[in-house]
Structure 1
Amino acid sequence: MKRMKHIYILLSVLLTGLNAMAQLPPVFNDQPNRVADKESRVRVYLTPQRVLWQSDTTGKLVTSAKNLLLPGIGQAELVNSHMTVLKNNGTNQSSILLDYGKELHGGIQLVTGMMPREGGVKVRIRFGESASEAMANVDTVTGATNDHAVRDFVIEIARGGMMEYGNTGFRFVRIDLVDPNTELFLKEARAILIYRDIPYVGSFKSSDERLNKIWATGAYTVHLNMQQYLWDGIKRDRLVWIGDMHPEVMTVNSVFGYNEVVPKSLDLVKGETPLPDWMNGISSYSMWWVMIQRDWYYYHGNLDYLKQQKPYLVGLLNQMISKIKGNEENLDGWRFLDWPTYSNKPAIHAGLQAMMVMALTNGAELCKVLNDTETAKKCLDAVAKLRQSVPDAAGNKEAAALLAMAGLMPAEKANKEVIAVDGTKGFSTFYGYYMLQAKAKAGDYQGAVDNIRDYWGAMLDLGATAFWEDFDLDWMKNAARIDELVPPGKVDVHARYGNFSYTKLRHSLSHGWSSGPTSWLTEHVLGVQVMAPGCKVIKITPHLADLKFVEGTFPTPYGAVKIKHTKLANGTIKTDIQAPKEVKVIR
C-alpha cells in the first residue's frame, strides 16, 4: 500500500505537469491531493527615488521624510534611528507620496519603528500608475478603481515589524495615517518588484536614442506582464486576452526568445474554450490563437508542442470554414477588432474578412506540418473563396492594415489612401503594430519610423516608463506629465481621457498589447525575418530609413545572432553578422 501511495504521488505530479512536489517539505509527502505550483518569479526590493509630495512641510506633522530614500534592509530595530514620522492631531491628517521611478508590478514593504502607542496603527495605502491616480479616491468621478487589483485600502500595521501589502501595477504610493491623535514611525517603505528574472537576449541600438528608448520600453512593458501568465495589464486586465497577446508574443520572440509563459497562456485559454465557443467570446481572438501558434512554431520549432494542438486546431479551422457564406465571412460571437472600430460595422467586416484569410492560410501551413493534407486543402479552398470578395476599409486604419497584410488590398494603396493620411491620427496602441506592418509591406519604412517616434515617443514625453492601453496625440495639448502633480491650468491626461473599458484613471498605463514597435524595429530596421521553423533559416534585410547605424541581437533556439548595419557615405549599407552554426543566414 505504501508503494502504491508513492506511485499515486508520482503520477499526480506528472499529470499536472508540475515537477515541484520534491520542493515541498517532507511533511506534505503523505498528501497526494496537494499540488505544488512552483513559483517562476522573483521578488526584488526597491527604495523610493523621491518624495514627490507631503501633506505638511512645517515639520510638525511629517518629519524627516527623506529618510525613506535611504537604502533599507527589511528589518525592524529596537532603536528609532532614521525614522520618518507621521503625526495626526485632532484636525489634520498626515500623508506622503513616494515615487519609485519606474512602472512596477508588486506591492510595498513597510518597516515600522517602536511607536509610543501599543497595538496597531491604521494607514491608508494608495497605489498609482500616475501621480494623480495615487492621489485619487475610488469613485465614479475620476474613474479610479479597485477592479482586478486592489490599489486603495486601509490596513492596520504593528509597531516594530515588517509587513508587506498589495499586488498591482504602480509607480507611486501614497501613505496616509488614518486615526486622529496617532503617530506612525516609518523606517522603510520599499517597493516589491515581482517579475521573471530572465535575460534580455534580444537588443536594439541605433543612432536615434528616441527609437532605442521606445524599443526598450516596449520590451519592459511586456516583461512586466509576464507574470503567472501573459497578462494584458499589470493593474487592470490582469487576464489572458488571446488576441491582445499577439503583439506581446512577437515582443517575447524578439527580446526573450522562448519562455514558458506563452504556451502556458495559450493552453489556458484553449482549455477554458471548448469548441464551438470562441476564445474570450470573440471570433477574431480564436483566429489570433491560430496565428500565434504559427508564429510560435516558426520562432521556436517545437513540433511536439504543435502536435498537442492538432485536435483543437483542426476543429477550430473547420468551425471557421463553416462561418463562410458565399465568399464572405459570416462570423458570430462578439465581432470585434479593436476598441476604436467598435461601432464601425463595415470596418469590422473588412477586418474579419482579412483575418479569416490570414488565419486559414496560417492554419493550412500548420496542417501541412502536421501531415493533415485534407484540412490544409479545405483551408486553402476557403481562402480562395474569400479572396473573391474585398470589402471596403471604410476609411478605417485598422481595417486597411489587415486588408493589406492579407493581400486583399495592395499595401501601397492601403498606406497612401488610408493609413498614412494625417500621420498617426486614428492609430491605436494595439492595432498600431499592424499599421506599421502594413506600411512596411508598402515599403514606407521612413513613414513607419516617423510614426513610432511621434506616437509611442509622445508617451515617453509625458513621463511614461511603460506603454499605455490607449493613446491619442491630441492628448498632448496642454498636458501635464504623469510623474508630477498636475499644475493649475494643465490637463491631467490620466484622469481626463479614455473610452470604453479604459475610462479616466481606470486606464492601464502598462499594457502589453502596446509593445508593437519593439518587434517591428527588430524585424524591419535590424531586418530579421524568420524563414524556417526554429529559426534554422533567417533572412536579414535592413531598412535604416534616416538612421546612420543600427546594431543588435536576435534570440534563436541556438543562441543569439549578432548584427550591425552601418550606412556608408555613398548610401550603401555595410553589414556584419555573427550567427550560431545551426542558423543559416540569407540576405
Structure 2
Amino acid sequence: MKRTILLVLMSIVMQLTFAQKVATWIYYPGDFEIWLANQVQNRRTDRGTFFPPFWKMDSFYVLVEFSKKVTLAKPEDISLRVEGKYNVKIDDKFLPGFPTKIAIPAGHHLIQVKVYDQANVPAIYVNGTTIKSDSSWLVTYEDKEWIDASGRASDTSTGTVYVNAGSWNFNSPDTPPSHFKLPTTPESPVSMTKKDKGMLYDFGKETFGYVKFNGLRGKGLIHIYYGESPEEALSTHYCETLDSLPVDNRLPKNVTMTDSKAFRYIYIVKDGQLSYHSLSMNYEYLPLQQTGSFKCNDTLINKIWDVSAYTLRLTTREFFLDGIKRDRWIWSGDAYQSYLMNYYSFFNSPAVTRTIYALRGKNPVTSHINTIMDYTFYWFMSIYDYYQYTGDKFFIKQIYPRMKSMMNFCLTRRDANGMMEGLPGDWVFIDWSDFKMSKAGEVSFEQLLFCRSLEVMASCAKLENDTIHEKEYNDLEKGLRSKLFTAFWSNKANAFIQNRVNGIKSTQVTPYTNIFAVLFNYLDSTKTEDIKSGVLLNPNALQITTPYMQFYKLAALCALGEQKHVLNDIRSYWGGMLRLGATTFWEQYNPNEKGAQLLAMYGRPFGKSLCHAWGASPIYLLGKYYLGIRPTTPGYKTYAIEPHLGGLQWMEGTVPTPHGKIYVYYSHTLIKVRSDEGTGVLHFSSLLKPSCENGDIINKGHHQYEMQVQAGRSYTITCK
C-alpha cells in the first residue's frame, strides 16, 4: 500500500515537473550575448561618423551541435525550429532533409542537431510532451565526428568538450534570438521654443530613443542636433550627436529615425519647403521591475535615490552600458558598479550574466578586457559577487573555463616579482583624476585587484571541485598579499604609496589603493585607522572628483562606521548636480567647475556624459550601508540586517532577493522587518531595552542587540 502511494506521488511530481517545464530557444552559452554586444557596441556615432570599439571583437561559433539523451516510457512526437542550416541524427543515424516534426520511439535515445549559420547565432527550439529544449541540453562547437568505411557516423569523440546550452527567455517558437529588440513607447516633448533658424524641443529629462516626425510634408533636408543640455543641442558645430533626414515625398507621412540617441533636448533646423505637424519620440527601454526602494525624512536624499534609480534604468539596456550619449559601449569598470547597484534596485540577473559573457568574449585571450588591466580584475570580482547575491552556481559552472583562460593570460604577464605591470597595449586606467599620478611599473592599486581576483579564482575552483587549481590560486594569492605591504606600504605616510618602478618606491599617496585595502579587509586595526584619518577623512589628501571612485571611497567610509559623514557627502556631491538641474547623474562632477567647464571633457565642449551608470552609486550605498542589508551566504539563504541612520530621523526601504525582498523600517524608537526568504540576523543598537512580541532579542552588551528573522514573518521592535 505504501509503495503504491509512493509511486502515485512520484508520478504526480513528475507530471508537475513536465507541466512546469517550458521549451526555449537554446544556443552555445555566451554566443547570443557576443552577437548582441556586437550589434549594440557598433551603433555609436560621432557627429554622424561610425565609431566602433577599439578592442578585439569576437564572433559566435557558426557551426554548433546540440545533443540530448532521453528515456521515454512511450513514443513521443517533437517539433523542431532552427535558426540556420541543419541536420538531425537519432541514435547516430541521419534523418533525411530538414525535418520539423520528429517521432521518437519509446526507450533510450540520443538526439543530435547540428546547425550552421553565418549571419545569426545557431539556435534550436524543441518542443514535445516531455522533450523540450532548455539548458539541460549539451552543446559543442567541435564534435570531432567522422564517417567510417561503412558510411556510418562514428560516436562523438571523447575529446569533445560539451557544455550546457545557453538560454534566456525566448520561449516562443516565433521569437528566436535573432529577433530580439527592446520595446518602445511614445513620448512627447514638454516644451518647444523658437531659436534662430530652428526649433528647440525639451523632453523634460534625459531620455533615450528614436525621434519621430509626424505629418511630414514637402521636400528637402532636416538637420537634427541632440543635446543633454540646451547648450549642446544648440551648438550645431560641436554637439556630440546629430542626424540628417532627407525628405523627397510631398505626401504627409510619419517618419521615425532608424538610429536611437540619448538626449533631453533636440534642435531641429529644416529647409523652408518642409513642414511637419509635430515631433515626438519612441522611448526605448529594457523592461525592469524596481523592487528596491528607499525613503527617509530627508527629501533631498529621497530625490537623490530616485534620480540614481532613473540613471541606472537608462543605462541598463541590452547590457549595462557606461553612458547612453557618447560611448554606448560595455565597459567592465562601469558595469561592475552597475551590477552592485542592480542588486539593490532591479535585481535583473540576466542583464548581469549577459554583460559578463559579452565582456569576456572568446578564446584565445589576446588583451585585457576593454584593453584595461583593472577592468580585467573587476570582471573576475563581479562573478563571485554575482554568486553571492544570486546563489546561481550554474552560471559559475558555465563561466569557470573562461575565467581560467583569462587568468592564465594574466599570469603570463607578471614581472619577476610576480606582479602585474602595464605592458605595450595595456591601459592602466584607475580613474579620471584631476591630479597627476604615475602608472608606470608596479602600480599598487593593480596588485590589490589582482590579489582579490586570485581569491575569486580559488573560491570558484572550490565550487567546481577543481582542487588542483584551487590550491594554485590560493598559493598565488597568499604569496602576492605577503608582498603588498613590503612593496607599497609607507611607514612615513602611514598609507599605501602609488607605485614602484625598478624597485624604487614613489612617495605619492593616492586614495585608490588605500580605499580598496579597507574594502577588501586587508588591514589590521592600526593601519585601518591610519588610512581613515590620513587619507579618507583628510581634507588635505588628494581628492576624488568622479562618481566612479566616490562609489568606493564612500563605501569604505561606511564600512568604517562613518555613515553620518558619508550622508553629508552624498548631499553635497549628488545634491550639487541636482542644484545644477541634473535629471540624471554625470560621468564627472567637480564642484569647483563653473559654466562651460561643467559640460566639457576629453578636450571637447560637450564630451562629458550627463547620464553615466557609475553616477547612480547612492542606490548601493543606501541599500547596503544604511538599510544595512547584505547576503551572508549565497543567494540570501542567510543574510544580515545592520541598519544605520547616519543622522536621519527615520528610513525605510526594500532590498530585492532572488525570490522576493527584504523590508526594513528603522528609527530611534521603532524597527520593522519583513522578509520573503532565507534566515536573517538583525543587528541594531538601542540605548533603551528593546522588545518584540514574536522575536527573541539577544543582548550582546554595550547597547548592541541581535534578533533572528524568519521568512514570511513580520517583526516590530520597540525601543521605548
Asked if residue 584 in structure 1 is aligned to residue 680 in structure 2, the reply is yes
> Which amino acid in the other structure matches residue 163 of structure 1?
V
Superposition CA RMSD, Å = 2.7
The answer for the alignment partner of 1:132 in structure 2 is 231
Residue 238 (structure 1) aligns with = 328
For 1:436 and 1:347, the matched residues in 2 are separated by 28
Matching residue within 475, 478, 485 for 1:384: 478
Q: Choose 374-383 or 416-425, whichever is displaced more.
A: 416-425
Paired residues of 2:229 and 2:265 also in contact (CA < 8 A): yes
Aligned position for 1:67: none
Asked whether the 8 Å contact 1:446–1:546 carries over to 2, the reply is yes
Secondary structure of 2:205's counterpart equals: strand
Q: Which amino acid aligns with 1:536?
A: K
SS at match of 2:575: helix
1:288 partnered with 2:417: no
Determine which of 499, 523, 532 is the counterpart of 2:624. 523
Instruction: Name whichever of 397-406 and 163-172 sits farther off.
Output: 397-406
The verdict on how the C-alpha distance between 1:345 and 1:19 changes in structure 2, with shifts beyond 3 A counting, is: closer
Distance verdict in 2 for CA 1:465–1:348, change over 3 Å: farther
Deviation digits for residues 21-66 of structure 1, max 9, x if unmatched? 95549xxxxxxxxx64243522111121122x3136xxxxxxxxxx
When residues 183 and 258 of structure 1 are mapped into structure 2, their CA distance, relative to the original with a 3 A threshold, is: closer
- Alignment partner, residue 401 of structure 2: 311
Give the TM-score of the pair, scaled to structure 1: 0.79
Match of 1:429 among 547, 550, 555: 547
Q: 1:125 to 1:9 in 2, by over 3 A?
A: same
Q: Deviations over 1:229-263 (max 9, x none)?
A: 22111111111111221111111111011331211
- TM-superposition CA deviations, 1:336-366 (whole Å, max 9, x none): 2122277432798121121122222222222
Question: Is 1:347–1:396's contact at 8 Å kept on the other side of the alignment?
Answer: no
Q: Is the 8 A contact 1:24 1:36 kept in 2?
A: no
Cα pair distance change 1:348/1:416, threshold 3 Å: farther
2:264 is matched with 171
1:403 is matched with which residue?
517
The one-letter code of the counterpart of 2:591 is: L
Per the alignment, residue 61 of structure 1 pairs with: none
Counterparts of 1:244 and 1:511, CA distance in 2:
9
User: Does the CA contact (< 8 Å) of 2:341 and 2:619 recur in 1?
Assistant: yes
CA deviation digits over 1:91-141, x for unaligned, max 9?
A: xx3x1111111111112111126x5xxx424221111111111101244xx
Matching residue within 543, 554, 573 for 1:455: 573
Change (3 A) 1:40 1:330: same
Structure 1 residues 129, 263: CA separation in 2 closer, same or farther (over 3 Å shift)?
A: same
1:419 pairs with 533, 536, 539, which one? 536
Aligned to 2:219: 120
Q: Check the 8 A contact 2:545/2:588 in 1, yes or no.
A: no
Q: Kindly state the Cα deviation for residue 289 of structure 1 after the two structures are TM-superposed.
A: 0.7
The corresponding residue for 1:145 is 240
Q: State the 1:197 CA deviation.
A: 1.9
Query: Given the superposition, is the C-alpha separation of residues 347 and 256 from structure 1 closer, same or farther in structure 2, using an over 3 Å criterion?
Result: farther
Q: Secondary structure at the match of 2:328?
A: coil
From the superposition, tell whether residues 558 and 17 of structure 1 become closer, same or farther in structure 2 (CA, over 3 Å): closer
In structure 2, distance between residues paired with 1:19 and 1:537: 29
1:492 and 2:610 are equivalent in the alignment: no
Equivalent position SS for 1:577: strand
Does residue 197 of the first structure (1) align with residue 290 of the second (2)?
A: no
Provide closer, same or farther for how the CA distance between residues 372 and 324 of structure 1 changes in structure 2, counting only shifts above 3 A. Answer: farther
* Counterpart selection for 1:161 from 253, 273, 276: 253
- State the match for 1:108 in structure 2: 211
1:148-173 Cα distance to aligned partner (Å, 9 max, x none): xxx34343275421111241111111
Structure-2 residue corresponding to 1:561:
662
Counterpart CA distance in 2 for 1:346 and 1:544 is 42
CA offset digits 1:470-492 (Å, max 9, x no partner):
111112xxx4xxxxxxxxxxx23
Listed as ranges, the matches of 1:44-123 within 5 Å are: 44-51=185-192, 53-55=193-195, 93=197, 95-112=198-215, 119-123=218-222
Stretches of structure 1 that go unaligned for 5 or more consecutive residues are 26-34, 57-92, 480-490, 569-573
1:467 match: secondary structure? coil
Whole-angstrom CA distance in 2 between matches of 1:104 and 1:285: 28
C-alpha separation in 1, matches of 2:668 and 2:181: 42
Cα deviation for residue 224 of structure 1 reads: 0.8
Q: Distance between the aligned counterparts of 1:544 and 1:531, measured in 2?
A: 21
* C-alpha distance in structure 1 between counterparts of 2:667 and 2:332, whole Å: 38
TM-score, length basis structure 2: 0.65
- Following superposition, the deviation at residue 5 of structure 1 comes to 6.1
Aligned residues: 503
Structure 1 counterpart of 2:228, one-letter code: E
Distance 1:421 1:152 in 2: 48
More helix by share: 1
- 1: distance between equivalents of 2:208 and 2:264? 9
Q: CA deviation at 1:435?
A: 0.6
Which residue is equivalent to 2:686?
none
Counterparts in 2 of 1:426 and 1:19: CA distance versus 1, 3 Å: closer
Structure-2 residue corresponding to 1:514: 615
**Partner Cα separation in structure 2 for residue 417 and residue 231 of structure 1:** 35
Instruction: State the alpha-carbon separation in 1 of the partners of residues 387 and 648 from structure 2.
Output: 32
Which has the larger strand fraction? Answer: 2
1:185-334 → structure 2 map (5 Å cutoff):
186-272=276-362, 274-275=364-365, 277-322=367-412, 323=414, 325-326=416-417, 328-330=419-421, 332=423, 333-334=426-427
The CA distance in 2 between the partners of 1:199 and 1:368, in whole Å, is: 34
Shift of 1:378: 2.4
- Listed one character per residue, the Cα deviations across residues 492-514 of structure 1 (whole Å, up to 9, x for unaligned) are 3454x3247xx431211111122
